[in-house]
A and B are shown apart, each in its own frame.
Chain A
Amino acid sequence: MQLCLLLHAIILFTAQAWALVEGDVGVVDWYKQLLGVPQVGALDTAPKFHTVGNDSLVLTATVKNVLAALHPENGSVAWRFVFDSEDRINGFYKDGEVITTLSGTGGATLRSFEASTGHLISERRLHSQAEGISFHPQHSGSVVTYAVRDDGSTTDGPRDLLVLTNGHKVTRFDGATGNAKWSWTSPDQTSLVIYNKVFSTSYAVYVIGVSKSIASYTVHITSLHSSTGEVLNDVEVPSSVAQPFHEMVLMSLHVPHQYRPRIAWLEDGQVKSKALTPDLKNRVGSVKDLKVDRIIDVGVSDHGYLVGWKKGAPTHILKMAEDGTLIKAWGQFETIPSDEANQIAFGGGVDKDGNVYVARVYWSNKLEKAVVDLFSTVQIETQQYYFPFDPSSYGSIHHVTLTVAPNPRVVISTSTGTVQSWSLSTTDAEMLWNREEGLSAISAAEFVQLPEQQSVVALGREGEGFIGRLQRQLVQAQDLPHYLYHFFLRYTSGSSSMSRPVAPANSSELSRDPFGFRQLIIAATDFGKVYAIDTSNGEIVWSRVFGLGWAEEKGPDGNVVGGRIDVDKVYVIKPLGSGGAKKKAKKTKKAAEEVTRPEVVLVTQRFAANTLVDTVIFHIDVLTGADVREGVPESQKSQGLLQGYDAIQGSLVQAFFLQNETRAVVMLDEFLQVYLYPENEETKAAFAQAAPSLSFPLSVTTGDKERGSSTRRVVGNSVELNDALSDRYVAYQTWTLSLPPDEKLQTLVPATKGPVASLGKVLGNRTTLYKYLNEKMFGALTESTTGTCGLYVVDATKGTVIYRASLPAFSGFEGSKKVCDVKMILTENWLVYHYYDDDVASGTAGLEQAKGWRMVSVEMYEGLADQKTESPGMSSYNPDMRNVTVIEQSYVFPHGISAIATTSTTYGITSKDIIVATHNNKVYAISRRLLDPRRPKRKPTAEEQEEMLIEYDPLIPDDPKRAISHNYEVANIQRIITAPALLESTSLVFAYGLDLFLTRVSPSGTFDVLSESFNKPQLVFTVMGLVLAIAFTRPMVKRKLLNQRWYQR
């Protein structure tokens, strides 16, 4: 029995020690695996359908450098492979069960994958990155072609590979063993011939490239012997190609026992071509009576088809003749009037019988639907399909991938980073799936608290009479038994704990849960779209596409200028419970409504295609995504594109947030003039009041660029209103911090702001270490040419360098050059930074040291024990502000990190954990106790134990229990943001980069919530028992007291 109790106690103890219990997975956290937006610029990286056995997949390479396979039925991820950022994918090439990729500069690495599972079969380094030649566009100069099998061959193993690298080297690799059979290098690499296409027949291999002539490019063809790699012939074709990477298409036809390749190119609007034969002696032919603007390879060029497009004219489908001698116009799509469609995409596919299909997809302004014109070689008439695409939610269609088996389907990529699949039918098209891949490129994100449900219900009760209230309450009373039943259940079952899902499944209304775990994340992406994500389940609540303002209107020439929106900052301008708004809420109904509806302001810059830059503000209602700018008609608030307000006619230098009751956004233009949003008397007055104490740093370039002496330095600014010159406040320089000549400013890192719960730390010996609290502190990171990186902590008002460290740079990818990869976080008086130290030679990592990642924890105090200067209220001009006592300690950290943050809680009482996203795709929470710079380097004394200090250990152990992302692969995290929940113990953590991950952490334990194991029924029964006992004994006691009085007399 005792043994059983002991075991029970051990299990309980270990369960509490775990960071996350299995039951919490998927309840307290969620994870979205993303792939990135497909790279549609080149056919070798764009999405393609691929059939492996009976299964079909959609393969794509993405701008996030991921090779991915999707299930075409539901859009779920079959597999993905994340390439290193330095190892860019040049293209992927499919052949049955094998997918081959070529990546890195000039095609440095060749990999092959199993198509159905994504398992890496082989990886071969063809040359180092340093030896690679970079081209523009990046994918040119390197390609993989599968060698054709000899007709007599009976084996069905993997085919040989012909790999072109660096634009001048062709190697034939054995498909089975991976060994190089032969290699050919262009003899004259200085002739500027860049090869970019390879075609293989059973006898010869053709390598096609271009050489630069005065105004254009000339086509160059070399034929090699297929078995030996010997040069058979080498010709320069008299030609003139303007854009060789877009206007040259390699076509081929496979007729029984023979391949008929042909290279086609565009020359002065004419489609010219030349057959590829081993002697290369045939003439150049051209398609007669046809002028086009572009020729497009839609993925069926290996079946002898390509598309010739001309603006305002029918689109021709060009076909190679069966004998391979010429190319002729075969079919055509009708002209689309220019006012009916803006952007047209083409796609091609082949059915199982070898029939070729070509699709033209565009959004029709007239029909307000997406139109698919489908041309096929089996039908004379072009078929037309429609699907209800919404350009105001997904932008324009950039790319289309077509399949016709088993039924016509398209996968489209849009300008907002969305990937969709539509099943086409003549009656009703159906959206099969939709993936918001734009979320893999979030540029700014912020948490927003939701309003309380009560206050939403309370709205509309204004003016309610007695009868009305009675009626309402009678209706509500019907739910009383149900409420009481659930209250009892909740009370006795203990399910009000942390691990309960925060949003009931049937809850469609956005409102705050009791603990404040349900919030919204407003995330803006690089693809011009803003999303609201529910933190309880990761679902997208709403999304809006940014309008481009004047840049999307047609100019006098009928063309749209176009451009893009870059989001710099997201600010919540009316958060719930903000003091000023609450006071007014009591006064008017309108203000009460405002309190319940938080709003966000997105500060963005619009880069128009004609180089004009404007600063644009988008002002959105958080709950619905509606435009809440003043003067916007009701009909346009939630419909169509989200339009902004052009706040500054020019670029933005800095934006920040006035942290007082008005919560106005402050922006600075190129001339450092101050603009406010919203700009009204109230915000102006608030800014005027705050202006004397404002100071902020900027990174400014000084010196003479022409002399090459320009450098960036940190400049401190304050603002002043000079009535004589301008009606706006203008920033002026108060201090500068030049860097040493060999250092370059990398980035400025603002300190993480939050409530400070205590001004000092009471030690075991009852003395106090007073924190150095300077809310004007910020960090600056520098890199240098001499192999050191700099880290500065600077006072923004005075320019005082409070802490400064010189860190070693390390050799980057393949030892290319020294790089600085320092990550830092600064909060209260605590600085944590992380860097890599491989500088053994210079003694930074001394002989007794080893190379590795280091994490340094620095605490700043006003002085030693009981010494204080009252830094929180002290002016930066006071010399005592320089006097900082620094306590620091360094640790070995097992991983490189890509992002660092601290947890944040409502009152700052809970201790702060450091959250890091590591290079091994995990998110870790590191306890402050481990990073305490006062950890003693011997066994802790009783006083130190009282302070919960643990003995110093140089290694922060690689403890899987600390991985808050447990077994999720959270790849390429760029930033981590945290937000307090209503519970002081708990903080929400959102990590984004390629993937999205959200969880809740409680650094000091969930001290403000009853634990799961707390026995509520026992408490209830005990209390009830006591009440009963009192009720029973009370008359007895009374009687006894009365009797006693008789005897006392």
Chain B
Amino acid sequence: MRLSLIFVPAVHALSIQHRIFHPCGPSFEYAQRAELAFDTFEPTVYATSLDLSSHVQRLRDADLDLDKAYYQVALQRDGDVSPTEWDVSSVKLCHLYHATSDTITLYAKDGHVHALNYFVSPVPHNGACLERNNSKKRVEKDTNLQLEKLNTSITLQSYSTPPLPELRTPPALTTEGEPVKPIPEKSFIQKYWIYIVPMVIALLMSGGPEESQGRARS
């Protein structure tokens, strides 16, 4: 991937919020998951401030399909007044149960983070929610979401600039501004006359007797 991962010193505070979201369910408030301070490269994590399990239970009580629920992570920047201005990324809630690690990717330009993306891993290839046959086990698992156990990594992505055309080197110029004329290459004879002349002489010298031999044969 071409996007470079560069940490840039941030001059603004960032807060990572999170919640559970279901398109048909009640609207849950966001809770802070982490505070990011890039000068120390150490995020302060508040993962426990959200009781995910109870929210999942509420969705279950409302008899909603949990496979359609999302776990949303939002980015609160400096100056954002309402949560509607926050930047949001979602993963399917069902993927969170099997996840061992998660990644928050922050998109930045000139040291200013403007958007985020959130992934959990591992996720089935086709993204489907794994079937959970045992309903008892399912209930236990649904209410047992532990974000603290996830191995969280945060990456920062900034812009790339496209490559530039690789132009040919311009011809060298003299002090008068005229192109430097290349030294004309010597011809084959000019280069190798020193070898050619002795060979020619040698051939001439050795040519006589053969002819006489031929004549003699005829």
Contact = CB atoms under 8 A, between A and B. Distances in A.
A254 B45 CA distance: 90
A800 B118 CA distance: 9
24 contacts: A702-B84, A713-B87, A733-B88, A735-B89, A737-B87, A743-B109, A801-B3, A801-B107, A804-B157, A806-B109, A849-B167, A858-B162, A875-B123, A878-B123, A879-B103, A879-B119, A883-B1, A885-B1, A886-B2, A888-B2, A888-B162, A888-B163, A890-B162, A954-B166
Given A738-B87, A805-B162, A888-B163, A873 B110 contact: no
Contact of A856 (B85, B88, B123, B162): B162
Interface stretch (A227-235, A430-438, A717-725, A1030-1038): A717-725
Nearest to A718: B23
Contacts of B177: none
B135 to A, nearest CB: 22
Interface stretch (B47-55, B124-132, B180-188): B124-132
A877 B119 contact: yes
A870 B127 CA distance: 13
B125 A873 contact: yes
Contact of A739 (B68, B110, B114, B162): B114
Contact of A877 (B2, B24, B88, B92): B92
Nearest to B74: A736
Interface string B137-177: 00000000000000000000101111111111000000000
A845 B114 contact: no
A876 B119 CA distance: 10
Contacts of B115: 736-739, 799, 801
B91 interface: yes
Nearest to B101: A879
Interface in A802-820: 803-807
Contacts of B79: 709
Contacts of A845: 164
Contacts, number: 145
A720 B81 contact: no
A550 interface: no
Contact of B157 (A702, A709, A801, A854): A801
Given A740-B109, A870-B125, 6 more contacts: A735-B117, A833-B162, A849-B164, A849-B167, A856-B163, A954-B167
A439 B164 CA distance: 40
Interface string A293-306: 00000000000000
Contacts of B114: 738-741
Contacts of A983: none
A876 B127 contact: yes
A1007 interface: no
Nearest to A837: B164
B91 A877 contact: yes
Contact of B159 (A713, A806, A849): A806
B178 to A, nearest CB: 21
Interface string A880-894: 001111101111100
Nearest to A870: B125
B129 to A, nearest CB: 10
A799 B165 contact: no
A833 B161 CA distance: 13
B95 A877 contact: yes
B111 to A, nearest CB: 10
Contact of B117 (A732, A740, A798, A884): A798
Interface string A825-846: 0000000010000000000111
A949 B87 CA distance: 44
A97 to B, nearest CB: 48
Contacts of A873: 125-126
Contact of B23 (A720, A846, A878, A882): A720
A848 interface: yes
B112 interface: yes
B23 A732 contact: yes
A718 B23 CA distance: 9
Contacts of B105: 882
Nearest to B166: A954
A718 B127 CA distance: 15
A50 B89 CA distance: 65
B119 A703 contact: no
A360 to B, nearest CB: 58
A875 B125 CA distance: 6
Contacts of A743: 109
A804 B159 contact: yes
B110 A740 contact: yes
Contact of A892 (B103, B123, B165): B165
Contacts of A734: 70, 88, 90
What band does the interface of chain B fall in when counting residues whose beta carbon is under 8 Å from A? Answer: 35 or more
A877 B1 contact: no
Q: Which 9 A-B pairs have the closest CB atoms?
A: A875-B127, A954-B165, A720-B23, A740-B109, A806-B159, A886-B2, A879-B119, A722-B24, A732-B23
B81 A890 contact: no
Contacts of B112: 740-741
Contacts of A688: none
Nearest to A730: B23
A722 B64 CA distance: 11
A834 to B, nearest CB: 11
Contact of A874 (B89, B103, B117, B125): B125
A1039 interface: no
Contacts of A718: 23
Interface in A714-760: 718, 720, 722, 724, 730, 732-741, 743
A736 B87 contact: yes
A954 B161 CA distance: 17
B162 to A, nearest CB: 5
A844 B161 contact: yes
A854 B123 CA distance: 40
Nearest to A892: B165
Contacts of A724: 24
Contacts of B57: none
A790 B128 CA distance: 34
B2 A803 contact: yes
A889 B24 contact: no
Contacts of B103: 879
A1003 B115 CA distance: 41
Contact of A891 (B123, B128, B165): B165
Contacts of A890: 162-165
B53 to A, nearest CB: 22
B57 to A, nearest CB: 20
A798 B116 CA distance: 11
A479 B182 CA distance: 77
B160 A806 contact: yes
A202 B2 CA distance: 73
A357 interface: no
B44 interface: no
Given A702-B85, A888-B2, A888-B163, A800 B125 contact: no
Nearest to B90: A734
Interface in A931-964: 937, 952, 954-955
Nearest to A693: B127
A1026 interface: no
B159 A805 contact: yes
Interface in B1-54: 1-3, 23-24
B121 A879 contact: yes
Contacts of A807: 161-162
A801 B108 CA distance: 12
Contact of B164 (A733, A735, A846): A846
A888 B115 CA distance: 25
Contacts of A876: 127
Nearest to B92: A877
Contacts of A1023: none
B212 to A, nearest CB: 43
Nearest to B103: A879
Interface in A883-922: 883-886, 888-892
Contacts of A255: none
A451 to B, nearest CB: 38
